[in-house]
Amino acid sequence: MISSKNNPKIKYLRRLARRRQREKEGHFLLEGVRLIEEALRSGWPVKMLVYTPPPGERAGALLELAGERGVQLMPVDEGLFRELADTQTPQGVLAVVQSPGYTPEGLLAGGASLLLLVDGVQDPGNLGTMIRSASAAGAGGVLLLPGTVDLYNPKTIRATMGSLFHLPVLGVREGEELVARLKAAGFLLVAGVPAGGLPLPAVDMTGPTVLAVGNEARGISPWLLQRADILATIPMPGRAESLNVAMAASIMLYEVVRQRMACSGGGGSLE
pLDDT tens column, 153-190: 999 999 999 999 999 999 999 999 999 999 999 999 99
Specify whether the CB–CB gap between 116 and 134 falls below 8 A.
yes
CATH code reported for the domain at 104-264: 3.40.1280.10
Mean predicted confidence (pLDDT) in 203-216: 97
Distance, in Å, from the CA atom of 43 to the CA atom of 15, rounded to the nearest integer, reads 25
What DSSP assignment string belongs to 233-251? E----SS-----HHHHHHH
% of the chain residues with pLDDT over 70: 98
Distance, in Å, from the CA atom of 34 to the CA atom of 15, rounded to the nearest integer, reads 24
Domain boundaries, the chain: 8-98, 104-264
Looking at residue 270, its pLDDT comes to: 54
Tell me the whole-structure pTM to 2 decimals: 0.92
pLDDT tens column, 250-261: 999 999 999 999
Q: How many helices (H) and strands (E) does the chain have?
A: 11, 11
| Res. 12 pLDDT band, cuts 50 70 90 | very high
Q: Which fold has domain 8-98?
A: 60s Ribosomal Protein L30; Chain: A; (3.30.1330)
Domain pair 8-98 / 104-264, same fold = no
